[in-house]
Amino acid sequence: MSRVRSDYEKTLWRKIVRFVNGENDLFDEQSGFNIEAEELDARKRKLFFEEAEWNKKKVQITELIEERSEESEKKAVRLYERFYRLFAVITCVAIIAILLATVVNLPDYGDASNPVNNVVSRKYIEDGIEDTGAVNIVAGMILDYRAFDTLGESHVLFIAAVCVMILLKIDPDSEKGKRFISLENDRAYEPKNDPILVWTTKILVPVIITYGVYIILNGHLSPGGGFSGGAIIGAGLILYLNAFGFKKTEKFFTQKTFSVVSVSALLFYSVSKTYAFFTGANGIHSFISKGTPGDIISAGLILPLNICVGAVVACTMYSFYGMFRKGGL
């Protein structure tokens, strides 16, 4: 009787059969499908744990890296702030030093040999009334001799107003504009109905605007001119707007008013003074009579130019306020 072998699977013949079937290596008993289920489970578990540990390590490593990068960022920020302060102090001290040196080297106050008292200013003072017809020599200078500078100034103001519009204007039809208007509506409490403000405005605004008009119209006779008068009118309009709200001011001042008034004023200025720019300020004799110095209608083009500058400045001041307040006119 042949005895029953318990290790039947491990006989050489079976091994060869399995090898021919391509199931495992010839003499390697541990590999391949020869693994029992428990062993497989154990291996799986081991693998799983290894993976978990690996993941943990990964997380730790990434955290470490992040911490280190944060630390390095903090360091960089701290370094930047230190340098920033240092450079700010250095720049400030340098500018102060330059300015103080300039002030020390300025010519003495009221000295007769100052560069201010040269031929040009003597010419302006002596021939100013004859050349320009303006009693106020300053107006004659800025609107006749040096009208080009004033043209540039008014254009700078206009461009500033346009830039503020580009930055702050809100389209009320867009979604963002609707949200803004519902969130921060300044007009919710308008009109304010504050008796002190309303009555002060009722008394003051006509006086302020009349004073501004007076300064503009008398620009060639008395101190002042387009810029100061326009600023005063703009301030008066702002006061009126504060007291009575946008609904009342929209009756006479809208976006269209702003563009029409500013652009037409600048156009008139440019057209009426272009000849002087081409001829070097004093070339062609103007056909507009100078009038009697001291009259309101005198001094040729200075009065209309003053009105133009005043209109531009008043519009600009008011539009600044409107833009800052609610993002529109």
Partner 1 sequence: MINPFTFVLLGFLIICAIAACFCKNFLTSVIIFMSYSVVMSILWMVLESPDLAITEAAVGAGVTSVLFFVTLKKIHAMNDKKNVDNKAPMDDKEKDRSADM
* Residue in 22, 110, 115, 280 binding partner 1, rule: CB under 8 A: 110
Judging by beta carbons within 10 Å of its beta carbon (0-12, 13-18, 19+), is residue 179 exposed, middle or buried?
exposed
Q: CB 184 → partner 1: shortest distance, Å? A: 8
Classify residue 24 as exposed, middle or buried by CB count within 10 Å of its CB (0-12, 13-18, 19+).
middle
- The yes or no reply on residue 224 touching partner 1 (CB under 8 A) is yes
Q: Which of 134, 216, 238, 276 binds partner 1 (CB under 8 A)?
A: 238
Segment near partner 1 (CB under 8 A), from 17-25, 79-87, 300-308, 315-323?
315-323
Q: Which of 227, 253, 258, 269 binds partner 1 (CB under 8 A)?
A: 227
The count of residues interacting with partner 1 (CB under 8 A) is: 24
How many helices (H) and strands (E) are present in the chain, helices listed first?
Answer: 11, 0
Using the contact rule CB under 8 A, the part of the chain among 6-14, 38-46, 75-83, 219-227 near partner 1 is 219-227
Amino acid found at 28: D
Binding residue for partner 1 (CB under 8 A) from 216, 232, 302, 309? 232
Q: Which is nearer to partner 1, 72 or 210 (by Cβ)? A: 210
How many CB atoms sit inside 10 A of residue 313's CB? 29
* Closest CB to partner 1 among residues 124, 320: 320
Q: Which of 33, 109, 252, 278 binds partner 1 (CB under 8 A)?
A: 109
308 is a contact residue toward partner 1 (CB under 8 A): no
Smallest distance, partner 1 to C-beta of residue 249, A: 15
Among the listed residues 117, 138, 119, the one whose alpha carbon sits nearest the alpha carbon of residue 128: 138
Asked if 161 and 234 count as a contact pair (C-beta separation under 8 A), the reply is no
Contact 211, 176 (CB under 8 A): no
Q: Which of 225, 300, 310, 328 binds partner 1 (CB under 8 A)?
A: 225
Q: Restricting to residues 133-192, name those near partner 1 by CB under 8 A.
A: 138, 184, 189, 191-192
Q: What's the CA dihedral at 21, 25, 27, 31 to 10 degrees?
A: -120
CB of 193 or CB of 210, closer to partner 1 = 193
Q: How far is CA 304 from the centre of its chain?
A: 33
Helix (H, G, I), strand (E, B) or coil at 289: coil
Distances (CA, A) of 292 to 90, 132, 289, 295: 58, 11, 9, 6
Q: Is 231 in the site for partner 1 (CB under 8 A)?
A: yes
By CB atoms closer than 10 A (0-12, 13-18, 19+), residue 188 is: exposed
Instruction: Note whether 223 binds partner 1 by CB under 8 A.
Output: yes
Residue 9 or residue 186: which is nearer to partner 1 going by CB? 186
Nearer to partner 1, 223 or 283 (CB): 223
Structure token digits, residue 166 = 């580009």
Candidate residues 132, 321, 328, 329; the one interacting with partner 1 per rule CB under 8 A: 321
Task: Count CA atoms within 13 Å of residue 42 on its CB side.
Answer: 5
Give me the residues that bind partner 1 (CB under 8 A), please: 109-110, 138, 184, 189, 191-193, 215, 223-225, 227-228, 231-232, 234-235, 238, 317, 320-321, 324-325
